[in-house]
Structure 1
Amino acid sequence: MARACVCDTYFTVDSDTGELCLKPGTMGLRRVLVFNDAGTHQFEKADYPWLARVRARVQGGGGGSAGANAAANQCIVRPGGAGGGYSESLISVASLGAVETIVVGAGGEAGTTVQGGGTGGSSSFGGFVQANGGDGGGAVQTSGTTDDVSSGVPAPLAGRGQFAQGGGPGGGAIRLNGTNGLSGAGGESFLGHGGYARAGEGGGNPARGYGGGAGGGLSYGGSVQGTAGGGGVVIVELYG
């Protein structure tokens, strides 16, 4: 009778059924789950009976930026919002609870012509990994024609995880006179880019990807609206 030999490093034979099976922990990456809707979600490890470990990648939301409404023939420039932080960890299935809560931070809300942009929401995977959201760009500068500057926005601190870092700072804004200025760029994030700076009148430019800060708005006498920051994301890689 013919016989087959298999490597017992990766395979095992079920003693009851005689089935040839892969050993848990030797299969590598099998599936990737992406949670990018702001709010709370649940991860249940029982849904994946072959699971050996997860790599949780967590991106916080970026800060929003303010709008502006300069007087006629005058100028207001706004700084950009800060980018959200990023964290990640590789976690054994034995360390996971039956259900782990996932939180996806929203991008910071768009500010008004007189109010700064909102702070981006923090994102997390259970109690293992957490990333802070970026602060919003302020609305400090008043209408005018003389040279003036608005400070940028500090980057958020690193959160929690085996690897953790803060986001990028929001860029400062410069007014040269009543007809020339440059708004601040939004801060970068690990998984996204901030909105770019603008010299022409208009609302702040939006972020790209996940977690970038919104670019600042600029007014040369018109009313421009603030811009929301980039939303966060939680990516869960499942390894068998």
Structure 2
Amino acid sequence: MASVCACGDYFNVSPEGELCLNPGTMGLRETLYFRTPGTAQFRKGDYPWLARIRVRVQAAGGGSGGADSSANGSIPRPGAGGGGYSESLFEVGEIGAVESIVVGEGGAGGAGNNPGDDGGGSSFAGVVTTFGGPGGSANTASGDTNVTANAILGAATGTGQLAIGGGAGEGALRISASQGLSGRGGDSHLGFGGYGRSTTGPGGAPRGYGGGAGGAFSYDGPAESGGKGGNGLVIVELYG
């Protein structure tokens, strides 16, 4: 009569005689994506097989400042800062039955000659946290002479087993009344900053999640609004 041996590290035999996998040995079984800005909840009871989770938290990027130049003048704006990123791995017993999730919203672009708003921070359970990217400044006046505008710092480092700050938004340069370059937005761990521009137009949109908006450029009068920063994202990987 044939017999079969099973490794006890991975299998067990139930009282009913069924061969079963040991909890915690099945690897990644499901991934949850929280993309909508605002609050949500994670309930571990919805996953009775859960052994551990890996949480990846991306903050939102900042919005860039608006630009409204006078006649025969120009204003290029710097790019906004990228949002920070944090991640942690938890055993199922280390998390509560219900944990809160916050997804940050990208900072709004400035109108007229006003700065952009900071991006919102994202978090999981209040222990894996991130800071949103700073908004782009709007402190350069219209003119026709060479001038520079400082770059914008990226988001500060949050909390987690791995925590990374956001990328800096690039500075801006005016060469003359009609020539210049606005700043590119700061990158994030899960996204890219909006493009810088050398022609009149609004701030460039970021791609992915958490990138800062590119700077606006106004030449000879038309007001150009700043760009909106990229929204944040929370990813919860479920291991059985």
Smaller-chain TM-score bracket: over 0.9
Matched ranges for 1:142-153 at <5 A: 142-153=141-152
Report the counterpart of residue 96 of structure 1 in structure 2: 95
3-state SS of paired residue (1:41): strand
Report the counterpart of residue 87 of structure 1 in structure 2: 86
Give distance in 2, aligned partners of 1:75 and 1:62: 26
The answer on whether the counterparts of 1:63 and 1:118 sit within 8 Å (CA) in structure 2 is yes
CA RMSD of aligned residues (A): 1.0
Q: CA deviation at 1:5?
A: 2.4
Give distance in 1, aligned partners of 2:129 and 2:144: 44
Give distance in 2, aligned partners of 1:173 and 1:208: 20
Give distance in 1, aligned partners of 2:127 and 2:45: 18
Q: CA deviation at 1:223?
A: 1.6
Report the counterpart of residue 47 of structure 1 in structure 2: 46
Give distance in 1, aligned partners of 2:150 and 2:40: 37
The answer on whether the counterparts of 1:61 and 1:123 sit within 8 Å (CA) in structure 2 is yes
Report the counterpart of residue 159 of structure 2 in structure 1: 160
Please say if 1:33 is aligned against 2:58: no
3-state SS of paired residue (1:103): strand
Report the counterpart of residue 215 of structure 2 in structure 1: 216
Identity of aligned residues (%): 56
Matched ranges for 1:46-195 at <5 A: 46-195=45-194
Give distance in 2, aligned partners of 1:48 and 1:21: 17
- Listed as ranges, the gaps of 5+ residues in structure 2 are none
The answer on whether the counterparts of 1:113 and 1:139 sit within 8 Å (CA) in structure 2 is no
Q: CA deviation digits over 1:48-103, x for unaligned, max 9?
A: 11111100000000000112111122101111110000000011100010001010
4+ residue stretches of structure 1 with deviation over 6 A? none
Q: CA deviation at 1:181?
A: 0.6
Q: CA deviation at 1:19?
A: 2.2
Please say if 1:6 is aligned against 2:37: no
3-state SS of paired residue (2:93): helix
Q: CA deviation at 1:2?
A: 4.9
3-state SS of paired residue (1:154): coil
3-state SS of paired residue (1:84): coil
Give distance in 1, aligned partners of 2:127 and 2:27: 21
Give distance in 2, aligned partners of 1:141 and 1:95: 50
- Listed as ranges, the gaps of 5+ residues in structure 1 are none
The answer on whether the counterparts of 1:210 and 1:233 sit within 8 Å (CA) in structure 2 is yes
3-state SS of paired residue (2:141): coil
Q: CA deviation at 1:25?
A: 0.9
Q: Which moved more, 1:93-102 or 1:219-228?
A: 219-228
